[in-house]
């Protein structure tokens, strides 16, 4: 549905050219919510604004629904952009227009008749839960409600693609959850492809089917969200994940581990970090290895959560027993689909 090939983007900075995007290749399947995450300045907003050519790339191709947007003339590009809705971080509503009229604005610019506009806008206001607020002005509604207006406006032209540039970063956690639930409903209702730009892994966890991690203008990691969460390959990914699933143990836990290991032979105790995802999270794997290999497992720290409705979590476990039994325990856990990391530096 969306395909970026060899995208380079350069801006003129105060001290010379700045490479915002450096060789971006990306594919977003039809009907998926695709998350793009990175730190501030990583190139997220430059990337999303390249998809609708608000920022024209220095090199590369942007294809949306089979059309190469970079090859279109201005009139054809303006028409193609009607298939690409966009939600902004700061809402971008017109203060002098009501909720209804803000949603209707792109349809007025298209030249639709008033009856056509009403027929299009009324169902959208119902979808986003703002039918009762249609005559209010932006100053009279909350931030979450303003974002719902922005979403309805983005849907007014009946797009095939929806771009969201940090749409929840200015909202509180409860409102963020409601907006993400609305985006999931919109995807189900209209079958849209949604590109979600964010710096929050919590947002990715709740809603994205796939995720790409961007750093210094390059995609450094990409894949199914559950796979990236459970097996992060890049240091930037691990750092971003730390707020959702801690990648290192807290110092008080490490202090306890040092005390235990200091009193036990090194060959009889190992600190393991176990990452569970998907179906193996439902299996009694730990009790199985205790019975099978006669080892003691002490859970020191952990967190169990869900990613897109599938169980996911990480446990720090101190395993004690004979060296041969510990090796067999680690091998069995890995064969059962558990990611096992042996923590040697405590």
pLDDT digits (tens, 9 = 90+) for 251-308: 877 787 777 777 665 557 888 988 887 665 567 888 888 999 999 998 888 888 788 7
Same domain, 303 and 226: no
Is residue 145 included in any domain, yes or no?
Answer: yes
Q: What are the beta bridge partners of residue 33?
A: 194
Is residue 242 included in any domain, yes or no?
Answer: no
How do residues 71-87 score in pLDDT, each as one tens digit? 999 999 988 999 999 99
CA-CA-CA-CA torsion sign (197, 51, 234, 310): positive
Q: Say what the pLDDT of residue 345 is.
A: 58
251 burial via Cβ count (<10 Å: 0-12, 13-18, 19+): exposed
Mean pLDDT of the chain: 89
Domain of 48, in residue numbers: 2-235
Same domain, 337 and 198: no
* Dihedral of the alpha carbons of 103, 202, 305, 193, in degrees to the nearest 10: 50
How do residues 261-276 score in pLDDT, each as one tens digit? 776 655 578 889 888 8
Question: Which has the closest alpha carbon to 118: 110, 127, 129, 107?
Answer: 107
* pTM for the model: 0.85
Cα gap 29→22, rounded to integer Å: 22
Question: Which has the closest alpha carbon to 244: 265, 225, 218, 220?
Answer: 225
Same domain, 45 and 139: yes
Same domain, 98 and 133: yes
User: Is residue 184's pLDDT more than 90?
Assistant: yes
3-state secondary structure at position 314: strand
Read off the CATH number of the domain in which 316 is found.
Answer: 3.30.70.260
* Portion of the chain with pLDDT greater than 70, in percent: 96
Question: Which has the closest alpha carbon to 37: 196, 242, 228, 227?
Answer: 196
Same domain, 123 and 189: yes
Same domain, 231 and 259: no
Give mean pLDDT, residues 312-328.
Answer: 88
Read off the CATH number of the domain in which 51 is found.
Answer: 3.40.50.300
Same domain, 180 and 267: no
Is residue 71 included in any domain, yes or no?
Answer: yes
- Structural domain count of the chain: 2
Highest mean pLDDT: which of 208-212, 227-231, 302-306?
A: 208-212
């Amino acid at each position: 549905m969306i395909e970026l090939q060899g995208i380079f983007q350069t801006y003129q900075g105060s001290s010379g050219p700045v490479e915002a995007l450096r060789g971006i290749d990306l594919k977003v399947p039809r009907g998926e919510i695709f998350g793009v995450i990175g730190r501030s300045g990583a190139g997220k907003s430059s990337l999303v604004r390249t998809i609708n050519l608000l920022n024209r790339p220095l090199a590369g191709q942007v294809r949306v629904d089979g059309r190469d947007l970079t090859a279109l003339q201005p009139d054809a590009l303006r028409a193609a952009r009607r298939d690409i809705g966009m939600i902004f971080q700061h809402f971008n509503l017109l203060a002098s227009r009501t909720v209804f009229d803000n949603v209707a604005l792109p349809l007025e610019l298209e030249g639709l008749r008033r009856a056509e506009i009403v027929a299009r806008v009324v169902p959208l206001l119902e979808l986003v839960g703002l039918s009762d607020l249609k005559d209010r002005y932006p100053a009279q509604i909350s931030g979450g409600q303003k974002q719902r207006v922005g979403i309805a406006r983005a849907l007014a032209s009946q797009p095939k693609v929806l771009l969201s540039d940090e749409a929840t970063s200015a909202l509180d956690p409860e409102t963020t959850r409601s907006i993400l639930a609305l985006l999931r409903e919109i995807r189900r209702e209209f079958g849209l492809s949604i590109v979600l730009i964010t710096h929050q892994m919590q947002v990715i966890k709740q809603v994205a089917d796939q995720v790409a991690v961007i750093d210094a203008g390059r995609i450094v990691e990409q894949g199914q969200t559950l796979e990236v969460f459970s097996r992060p390959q890049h240091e930037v990914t691990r750092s971003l994940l730390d707020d959702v699933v801690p990648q290192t143990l807290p110092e008080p836990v490490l202090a306890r581990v040092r005390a235990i290991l200091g009193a036990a032979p090194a060959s009889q105790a190992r600190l393991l970090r176990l990452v569970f995802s998907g179906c193996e999270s439902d299996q009694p794997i730990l009790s199985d290895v205790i019975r099978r290999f006669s080892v003691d497992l002490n859970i020191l720290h952990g967190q169990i959560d869900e990613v897109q409705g599938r169980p996911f979590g990480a446990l720090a476990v101190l395993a004690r027993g004979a060296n041969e039994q510990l090796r067999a325990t680690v091998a069995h856990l890995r064969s059962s689909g558990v990611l096992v990391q042996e923590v040697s530096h405590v």
